[in-house]
A and B are shown apart, each in its own frame.
Chain A
Amino acid sequence: MAPLLHMHGISKHFAGIPALREAEFIVEKGEVHALIGQNGAGKSTLIKLLTGYYRRDAGEIVFDGRQVTFTSPQEAQGAGISTIYQEINLVPYRSVTENICLGREKRRFGLLDWPAMHQEAKALLARFRITIDVRRPLMAFPTAVQQMIAIARAIGFDAKLVIMDEPTSSLDEREVEVLFSVIRQLKGAGVSVIFVSHKLDELYAVCDRVTIMRDGRTVQTAPMSSISRLDLVTTMLGRELTQALQERPSPQPESETAPPALAVSHLVIGQKVRDVSFSVRPGEIVGLAGLLGAGRTETVRAVFGADRSDGGQVTFAGKQNAIGSPADAIRAGMGFCSEDRKLEGIIPDMSVRENLTLALLPQLARHGIVDEERSRAIVDRFIQRLGIRCSGPEQRIRELSGGNQQKVLLARWLCMNPKLLILDEPTRGIDVGAKAEILHLIRELAGQGLGVLMISSELEEVVEAASRIFVLRDGRTVAELEGDSLTEQSVMTAMAHGSGNERETAHG
């Protein structure tokens, strides 16, 4: 029997950069198919090409036996492809029927045909084995039922393929169970489901097959039961088992014995971080590794005082739990580059000079007045040292490229001569050349005695740069890897399973 969906040789470029390269994707009738890959691997692009949100550059799509090119999500929906979004927007005060028939009301003689609409709502819900009084307001029902109603509305009668893009990210465990039972019922009714998620447990719980994407390619499709978690992670991140050991600069002898600049032990932050411990010595680059949602960003934000922690010790510069705000952290000698440069890094309307000296302001001032001459001298020096490409210190930072913005933000901290620099995804959204420059710079700074704590989703990057890596999984430190035991393979093993040779972290 021909598959329900066959996407063949799909390519797509954005501004000359390939997002998809000859991707192949086959979904059989009545199967639940997982689609996984790192951020930027091309999952969303593939789905948006299918639903007519984007237009493909090359390749063909065969859906339900005929070749298709949808030009809008509405058209795809009409052909039987429904997409379920994370947010569920319904009108709580109106009846179930009204919610289900919203936008496709039945009319007779110009008036609403209520009996027909109630009938339709009832019949639709019956498909999902929900029998409720459809005349009652939506809010009268538990959240889980409301969720089902929303899904039923989205799927309707005619869906042959349902796409769920990270549907569980905002649901609690009970609601996830409800969703899974819906998925099983859909499958029973012969409907296919594409399930996008980062949570491995969920994939194994509900999916039949999996397609793994990497760098815009579909690298593997396999039955879920035949692929181990480790293979899944390894394929997703793109390293082979036979990967040779990386040559890595060995940590400097002095830093081996030096007391840690930062020591974190048994850190707890809400539900996201349950027990995280690690340390950073002066002159050392330490990586925090883990899958999305492992608690890396939450951890470093709490260390910097940007968010509150609920327990554990953070010792920095010899003082314990002394950091309650970013201002405290900065005074103690810490710098922090957030993962979201636009949202939390740059002040877009300010100049390169004003952005660069923002954290240094208190030190640049005499009696509250900014010493512009000193400020200019410092800015000139860093523009030159980091090779920041701008028309001059007075150019507005929003006009710079991502890589140069990032350099300005690095300079914001470097000009304070910090003891520790925390970098959350320092190379995200930056072109390859600037990436290499920034990584080189980080290494050079560590050579001069700066402690660096680094998070990166690009495993290759962390493993290459860091002399030690702590692996986080579900909010816990599950492994500390250094020296010969630090390979991409060992990091991935720890990310997937926790670690076979799990060690307690000795520091703190």
Chain B
Amino acid sequence: MAETAVTLPSPDKRPWLEVGTFLTRYGSWLALALLILVNLAITPNFATWQTLNVNLTQVCTIVIVGVGMTLVIATGGIDLSVGALMAIAGALAPLIFLGKLFPLPHPLVGIALAFVIPLIATALLGLFNGWLITHLRIQPIIATLVLFIAGRGIAQVFTNGNLQVFNLPEFQFIGLGRLFGIPFQAILMVIIVVTVAWVLRRTVFGREVLAIGGNERAARLAGIPVASVKQRVYLISGVLSGLAGLIVIARNSAADANLVGLGMELDAIAAVAVGGTLLTGGRASVIGTLVGALIIQLVRYTLLANGVPDAAALVAKAAIIVLAVWLQRQNYR
């Protein structure tokens, strides 16, 4: 038999494929840049501190909760309880600094405890989520549904369903204060984003989170303490939710257990999804979550600032989510 030289057809590089790869990788940045450009062109008074501050304060709590959600989703889980945990933290803090739970030796002690106790409480509730998932082996979506349902009820029991109004600048600094003219909550957000992004990239914990999301059985056989890592992830999500709850009530000078953090779980998940984190786990981008939240916020702002009603803005938000997730899917076919 004669040997025939076969020239393999070189895989033709279709230009649209390259564009697709580029879009999936940098699409969210591109969209953000585009949105800013569009706004600079059409929205009056867009390039002002005022606008920046408004948008940053709107997006802060979503990003802070979204960072915790990113870690949870990176392990292949989900946390529906974040909004309810915000309400619990938001209900607890005023009870403490108003001295309704126990007498305060000094107002400053009350303020300190008003930060510490709610965060410990939400940390423990996050740990409870993790415990349900790792020890009772309940699906994350069901396990965190428990506190999604019960959490807001708990917050209402604390406050008898009353609106708590207060005026306490030392406490409210977290929501209203400014450093060098920048809202303190925005600084807090940036610190959290940078820290967690670094943790995910450089630490053993970060690597373990991604390994579990990537292949849980393989991770376990490689000696990774799967249960403990998962519990820590839900704990972190709980703490960050608590923090977001405190920011919200500080901003509003009031705590309403019915409203604090309402619908936050979906906003956070949307930000994570738009930011390019795989909902099946194993790949995550905290910076992406920040960008995702900014995109969603900016679209809403653009529409509102140009006279489109909020109801229509919600439809636009949904459309962005679909578009973003569809774009990311292109990589995994």
Q: A361-B208, A368-B203, A370-B207 are in contact. Are A327 and B214 (CB under 8 A)?
A: no
Residue contact B221 to A347, C-beta cutoff 8 Å:
no
Residues of B with C-beta under 8 A to A359 = 222-223
Residues of B with C-beta under 8 A to A306 = 220-221
Residue contact B214 to A412, C-beta cutoff 8 Å:
no
Min Cβ gap B285→A in Å is 13
Residue contact B202 to A369, C-beta cutoff 8 Å:
yes
User: How many angstroms between the C-alpha atoms of A370 and B208 in the bound complex?
Assistant: 11
> Is B211 among interface residues, defined by CB-CB distance under 8 A?
yes
Min Cβ gap A149→B in Å is 33
Query: For window 211-230 of chain B, which residues contact chain A by CB distance below 8 Å?
Result: 211, 214-215, 217-225
Residues of A with C-beta under 8 A to B204 = 361-362, 364-365, 368-370
Residue contact B223 to A347, C-beta cutoff 8 Å:
no
Residue contact B282 to A344, C-beta cutoff 8 Å:
no
Q: A327-B223, A330-B223 are in contact. Are A347 and B217 (CB under 8 A)?
A: no
Q: A358-B211, A368-B205 are in contact. Are A346 and B218 (CB under 8 A)?
A: yes
Q: A344-B218, A358-B222, A361-B208 are in contact. Are A349 and B203 (CB under 8 A)?
A: no
Residues of B with C-beta under 8 A to A365 = 203-204
Residue contact A347 to B203, C-beta cutoff 8 Å:
no
Q: Which of B208, B221, B283 has the most CB of A within 10 A?
A: B221
User: How many angstroms between the C-alpha atoms of A385 and B280 in the bound complex?
Assistant: 35
Residues of B with C-beta under 8 A to A2 = none
Q: When the two chains form the complex, which single residue of A304, A331, A347, A362 contacts B282, counting CB atoms closer than 8 Å?
A: A347
| Interface size, B (range) | 20 to 34
> Is A348 among interface residues, defined by CB-CB distance under 8 A?
yes
> Is A336 among interface residues, defined by CB-CB distance under 8 A?
yes
Residues of B with C-beta under 8 A to A327 = 223-225
Min Cβ gap A365→B in Å is 5
Min Cβ gap A224→B in Å is 40
User: How many angstroms between the C-alpha atoms of A358 and B204 in the bound complex?
Assistant: 9
Residue contact B223 to A331, C-beta cutoff 8 Å:
yes
A-B contact count (CB 8 A): 78
> Is A324 among interface residues, defined by CB-CB distance under 8 A?
no
> Is B193 among interface residues, defined by CB-CB distance under 8 A?
no
Residues of B with C-beta under 8 A to A304 = 221
Residue contact B282 to A349, C-beta cutoff 8 Å:
yes
User: How many angstroms between the C-alpha atoms of A365 and B225 in the bound complex?
Assistant: 16
> Is B210 among interface residues, defined by CB-CB distance under 8 A?
yes
Residue contact A361 to B207, C-beta cutoff 8 Å:
yes
User: How many angstroms between the C-alpha atoms of A361 and B223 in the bound complex?
Assistant: 10
Min Cβ gap A137→B in Å is 30
Residue contact B282 to A338, C-beta cutoff 8 Å:
no
Residues of B with C-beta under 8 A to A349 = 210, 214, 282-283
> Is A343 among interface residues, defined by CB-CB distance under 8 A?
yes
Min Cβ gap A307→B in Å is 11
**Which of chain B's residues has its CB closest to A357's CB?**
B207
Residues of A with C-beta under 8 A to B222 = 326, 330, 358-359, 412
Residue contact B211 to A350, C-beta cutoff 8 Å:
yes
Q: When the two chains form the complex, which single residue of B210, B211, B220 contacts A326, counting CB atoms closer than 8 Å?
A: B220
User: How many angstroms between the C-alpha atoms of A350 and B206 in the bound complex?
Assistant: 13
User: How many angstroms between the C-alpha atoms of A243 and B322 in the bound complex?
Assistant: 65
User: How many angstroms between the C-alpha atoms of A170 and B270 in the bound complex?
Assistant: 43
> Is A354 among interface residues, defined by CB-CB distance under 8 A?
yes
Q: When the two chains form the complex, which single residue of A331, A345, A364 contacts B218, counting CB atoms closer than 8 Å?
A: A345
User: How many angstroms between the C-alpha atoms of A336 and B221 in the bound complex?
Assistant: 8
**Which of chain B's residues has its CB closest to A358's CB?**
B222
Residues of A with C-beta under 8 A to B220 = 306, 326
Min Cβ gap A303→B in Å is 13
Interface string of A446-474 (1 = CB under 8 A from B): 00000000000000000000000000000
Min Cβ gap A406→B in Å is 13
User: How many angstroms between the C-alpha atoms of A329 and B202 in the bound complex?
Assistant: 26
User: How many angstroms between the C-alpha atoms of A369 and B206 in the bound complex?
Assistant: 9
User: How many angstroms between the C-alpha atoms of A94 and B214 in the bound complex?
Assistant: 41
- In the complex, besides A345-B218, A361-B224, 17 extra interface pairs with C-beta distance below 8 angstroms are A306-B220, A306-B221, A326-B223, A344-B217, A344-B221, A345-B221, A347-B219, A348-B282, A349-B210, A349-B283, A354-B211, A358-B207, A358-B211, A358-B218, A358-B222, A368-B203, A370-B204
Where the two chains meet, the residues of B that have a C-beta atom closer than 8 Å to any C-beta of A are: 202-205, 207-208, 210-211, 214-215, 217-225, 282-283
**18 pairs, CB–CB < 8 Å, chain A vs chain B:** A326-B223, A330-B222, A331-B223, A338-B221, A343-B215, A343-B218, A345-B221, A346-B215, A347-B210, A347-B218, A347-B219, A348-B282, A349-B282, A350-B211, A358-B218, A359-B222, A361-B207, A362-B204
